[in-house]
């Protein structure tokens, strides 16, 4: 019996030793070699491009699946160049557009699904957005410089300038893919803006040049100020979603307030007045007097002036009016808008009379021109 046990133990030890030896001598399964076909295809395209002196402005997509470049001699117009797109798995490039001698840059969206062609005719910049899948132009807009993509590849930010009746207005604008038009962040008389970057935290860096030619670097975000969840530009349906349908409608023919264009007034008994453009269908002004009605930064009707200034003066300026100096308690906010706080300062008082303990009795979100101003 004892002999049998010793024999079994010895056999077990020998078996374990054999298994360990086999494991140590066995070779690992060969790993699958990396697929370098894409790298070879890119290298072949790059070699072909280098051999042609008429090719320039070579720009690869971030995902390396397509390259853009300009090529002389392929455009129909004299002095123009063809814009060529060569997808990695295609045997040859495709002509998708033409650019003038004022060509500036190709700008790729981070996700490689769109790109912008920017060129200058001599003053300003013309930008064309292209869809990579279709290789067709989807939108065209003007700017002061090459636009900057958002990190999510859905929007562009850029500076713009326009002239109204002899006045120069500079703006910082955004365009979101699929929209019918761009939107303002800032719009200021005799100022210029240039977009610098748009980072992952939503910060937009830009340069602002004032009427005296002084430039400063600033940062903002692409947010839309609101009162009780309503924004300028929102529709009537969005108003009803936010405030309900218990309103009284005043048609443009009966509206007594002065706006540059006809508006509908929607009055809510709890203390809201909303004005919607007859032609645009978008909100052009919001007045809230209901206690507790709050802005997107959390300042409410009923708060103190000290609370208003603590929150807003750190982020926004109180502009100078063309009529009566500094507008205390009025802030120039995103969307080229004005956010005005009203206080219990009594009849005959001015904004100069606001005290830290003055209470907010109402908040207006509007555009400067609705206030007969131009800041």
Output DSSP code: residue 350.
-
Q: What is the pLDDT of residue 364?
A: 98
Helix or strand (DSSP H, E) at 185: strand 183-189
pTM to 2 decimals? Answer: 0.85
Cα separation, 190 vs 322, in Å, equals 14
- Helix, strand, coil tally for the chain in percent (to 5): 15, 40, 40
Cα separation, 153 vs 167, in Å, equals 34
Output DSSP code: residue 313.
T
Q: Look up the CATH number of domain 43-221.
A: 2.130.10.120
| Partners of 55 in the β-ladder | 71
Output DSSP code: residue 81.
E
Q: What is the pLDDT of residue 226?
A: 98
- Where exactly are the structural domains of the chain? 43-221, 236-371
Q: What is the pLDDT of residue 35?
A: 59
Name the token pair of 164.
């109204």
The CATH number corresponding to 236-371 among 3.40.50.720, 3.40.50.2300, 3.30.470.20, 3.40.33.10 equals 3.40.33.10
The residue written with tokens 């604008």 in the block is 173
Q: What is the pLDDT of residue 9?
A: 46
Q: For the chain (length 375 residues), average pLDDT per consecutive 10?
A: 45 45 44 67 94 96 97 88 95 96 97 98 94 97 98 98 87 97 96 98 97 96 96 98 97 89 97 97 98 98 98 96 90 97 90 94 97 90
Cα separation, 128 vs 156, in Å, equals 12
Cα separation, 196 vs 188, in Å, equals 18
């Amino acid at each position: 019996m004892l002999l049998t046990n010793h024999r079994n133990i010895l056999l077990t030890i020998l078996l374990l030793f054999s298994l360990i030896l086999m494991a140590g001598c066995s070779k690992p399964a060969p790993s699958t070699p990396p697929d370098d076909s894409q790298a070879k295809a890119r290298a072949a395209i790059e070699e072909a491009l280098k051999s042609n002196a008429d090719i320039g402005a070579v720009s690869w997509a971030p995902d390396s699946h397509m390259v853009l470049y300009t090529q002389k001699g392929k455009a129909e117009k004299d002095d123009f160049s063809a814009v060529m797109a060569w997808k990695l798995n295609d045997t040859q490039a495709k002509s998708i557009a033409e650019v003038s001698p004022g060509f500036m840059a190709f700008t790729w969206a981070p996700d490689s699904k769109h790109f912008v062609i920017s060129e200058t005719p001599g003053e300003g910049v013309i930008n064309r957005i292209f869809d990579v899948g279709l290789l067709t132009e989807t939108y065209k807009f003007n700017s002061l410089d090459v636009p900057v993509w958002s990190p999510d590849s859905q929007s562009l930010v850029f500076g713009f300038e326009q002239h109204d009746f002899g006045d120069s207005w500079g703006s910082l604008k955004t365009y979101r893919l699929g929209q019918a038009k761009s939107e303002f962040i800032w719009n200021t008389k005799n100022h210029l803006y240039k977009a610098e970057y748009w980072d992952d935290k939503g910060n937009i860096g830009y340069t602002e040049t004032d009427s005296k030619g002084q430039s400063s670097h600033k940062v903002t975000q692409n947010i839309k100020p609101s009162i009780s969840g309503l924004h300028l530009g929102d529709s009537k349906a969005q108003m009803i979603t936010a405030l309900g349908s218990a309103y009284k409608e005043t048609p443009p023919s009966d509206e007594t307030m002065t706006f540059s264009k006809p508006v509908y007034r929607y009055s809510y008994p709890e203390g809201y007045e909303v004005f919607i453009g007859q032609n645009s269908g978008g909100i052009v002004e919001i007045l809230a007097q209901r206690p507790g009605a709050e802005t997107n930064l959390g300042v409410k009707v009923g708060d103190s002036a000290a609370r208003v200034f603590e929150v807003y003066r750190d982020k926004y300026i109180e502009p100078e009016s063309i009529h009566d100096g500094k507008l205390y308690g009025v802030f120039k906010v995103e969307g080229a808008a004005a956010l005005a706080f009203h206080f219990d300062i009594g009849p005959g008082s001015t904004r100069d009379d606001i005290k830290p303990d003055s209470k907010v009795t109402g908040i207006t979100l509007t555009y400067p021109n609705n206030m007969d101003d131009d800041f």
